[in-house]
Amino acid sequence: MLDLVIEASALAFHPYVLMYVMLGVLLGITLGAIPGLSGDMAIALLLPFVFFLEPAMAMGLLVGIYKGGLFGGSIAAISFGVPGTPGAAATSIDGYQAKLKGKPSKALHTALYSSVIGDTTSDLVLIFIAVPLAAVALSFGPIEFFALYAFSLMLIAALSQGMVAKGLAVAAIGVLLAMIGRDPITGSARLTFGMPGLSGGLSLIPVLIGIFAISEVVVQGAKLWRRKVDDLMDDVAEQASLLQGYDIRKDQLSWKEFKATLKATYIGAAVGTFIGALPGAGQSLAAFMSYGLAQRFSKTPEEFGKGSLEGIASAESGNSATAGSTFIPLFAFGIPGSATAALFGAAFILMGMTPGPSLLNDNTEIIYALFFTLIFANLVNLVLGKILLPYYSRIAMIQPGYLIPAVFILAIVGTYAANNSVVDVWVLLFAGVLGVTLRLLKFPLAPLVLGFIIGPGAERALRQSMIMGGGDWWVLVKSPIAIGFYVAAVALILLFTFALRAKK
């Protein structure tokens, strides 16, 4: 065993491998920060080349890109309110508000630390308890998945305090938007109004960026314009002085602030690790669920949505904590639980290693080396992040006159690049209009996005359950895990209703 560890660490800590990891993290952070581009794209592009690399180096490069990308997504989310990756959508809720209050550096550092903590937790779980967790993940069939989705929807729909009805209403709109496209069971087109471009449904990235970023840009632009028209120059001057007078030294994350976010980070780490291990659940769900739970257990839940560092920490840690555990089903059964896992699976295959139960036995050394690399990449992420964040913080404080058009263009180009699709650009603009409308009517936006993210999975799981149960609704409570989720959902809602009343 000791020999093995020594040999594996010799592989993993070879200077070239370390170099590839650093290169990968840098590339990942950069790509993740650009909306629409993601680490996954770079990994896909580099796939054929892993064949020509030593496995340890190839792994180092890909792991670096992946982890850098997970954190990088939060940079655009905080700086511009544009989630750079779907996983960063929840981060943008509080992150962007914190930036508007002149605290981009605090927000970005919170995101970095929670991302690294969440990721490391997840890696340790992958390394030490992959097998038992994999067995739990397998027991999630359609019935259990539906219960999980119902639980998260209930948790998040009530996110915005005092707006439960509005929250549920927009969540329903999100689910409805997600139903456009192909019926998951019969495969026929529905709600497409005869438009072939809609037959595959709305893609996640344009909906996400449209709802959050385009609507924000429009609102900001309108504010700017109105101020000019009304000649309220003193107000503009005040805003401008906040930007011009930005002093990064006054915007440092203190130890006390960091400690206050730790509970949220741990919640995110636990939730993210678990959700990451479930095939098909995804980073966005992990981030939103962590956010919802962290708010429930926070001492200052009213700060959530207004720039709470805890909000950022929970979302970002939940998002990043899927990084290690998403490999669990891949290593244990060869099942790619996410798009990234599928790409790593392809990379393993090209290196002559078959993902699945025999992976570890046949390639013990290299997999142990990969474990070291996973942990090391987190350190690189932390160090590179520390170096880069002051610059990103300053970029975040660019004057809106320059920023607004730049974000608009970035959103359109990024959306097109993600799927090479013009339809997606129209969806983006449509989602932007919807976002503006909802903002004007004071509806919360996060439940809509969550409804959109989990809608397809929830519908599929429900209908698969019904097929398996021969149309009998009781099938939904035939699993102890499912019952557990329903009980937990009801208990949480009751608990917080009473807690809220007691406060009043």
- Which CB atom, from 93 or from 347, has the smaller least distance to another protein? 347
Q: Which two tokens stand for residue 447?
A: 């439940």
Binding to another protein by residue 484, rule CB under 8 A?
no
Question: What is the smallest separation between the CB atom of 467 and another protein, expressed in angstroms?
Answer: 6
Task: Give φ, ψ of 147 to 5 degrees.
Answer: -65, -40
Q: Which residue lies nearer to another protein by CB, 211 or 343? A: 343
Angle at 115 between CA 109 and CA 116, to 5 degrees: 95
Q: Are 50 and 24 in contact (CB under 8 A)?
A: no
Cα 451 to Cα 429: distance, rounded to the nearest angstrom: 19
Looking at residues 196 to 215 of the shown chain, list those that interact with another protein (rule: CB under 8 A).
196-201, 203
Stretch that binds another protein, among 74-82, 118-126, 352-360, 489-497 (CB under 8 A): 352-360
Task: Determine contact, residues 113/126, Cβ cutoff 8 Å.
Answer: no
Residue from 1, 2, 3, 52 binding another protein (CB under 8 A): 52
Chain positions 328 to 347 lying near another protein, rule: CB under 8 A, are 329, 333-337, 339, 342-343, 345-346
> Binding to another protein (CB under 8 A): which residues in 238-297?
279-280
* List 100, 129, 141, 243, residue binding another protein (CB under 8 A): 141
161's CB contacts (< 8 A; 6+ apart) are 301, 302, 500
CB of 208 to another protein, least distance (A): 16
Q: How far is the CB of 334 from another protein (least distance, A)?
A: 5
What is the closest distance, in whole angstroms, from the C-beta atom of residue 347 to another protein in the complex?
9
CA distance 9 to 370: 9
Of the candidates 288, 460, 475, 485, which one interacts with another protein according to CB under 8 A? 460
Of 260 and 370, which has the nearer Cβ to another protein? 370
- Position among 245, 352, 401, 405 found at the interface with another protein (CB under 8 A): 352
Asked if 6 touches another protein (CB under 8 A), the answer is no
Which parts of 398-427 interact with another protein (CB under 8 A)?
A: 419-421, 423-424
Length of the chain: 504
Stretch that binds another protein, among 8-16, 152-160, 232-240, 258-266 (CB under 8 A): 8-16
HEC string of 324-380? Answer: HHCCHHHHHHCCCCCHHHHHHHHHHHHCCCCCCCCHHHHCHHHHHHHHHHHHHHHHH
Residue nearer to another protein on the CB measure, 13 or 297: 13
Determine the Cα–Cα distance for residues 235 and 222; give it in Å rounded to an integer. 14
Structure tokens at 395: 């970029």
Give the N- to C-terminal CA distance of the chain in Å, as an integer. Answer: 59
Q: Binding of another protein at residue 221 (CB under 8 A)?
A: no
Name residues contacting another protein, limited to 424-453 (CB under 8 A): 424
Q: Between residue 25 and residue 44, which ones bind another protein under the rule CB under 8 A?
A: 40-41, 44
How many residues bind another protein (CB under 8 A)? The answer is: 73
Q: Using alpha carbons only, what angle is made at residue 172 by residues 301 and 500, rounded to the nearest 5 degrees?
A: 25
Taking a C-beta distance cutoff of 8 angstroms, is the pair 450, 154 a contact? no
- Could you give the CA distance from residue 287 to residue 148 in angstroms, rounded to a whole number? 14
Note whether 9 binds another protein by CB under 8 A. Answer: no
Site string for another protein, 161-190 (x = CB under 8 A): --------------------xx-xxxx-x-
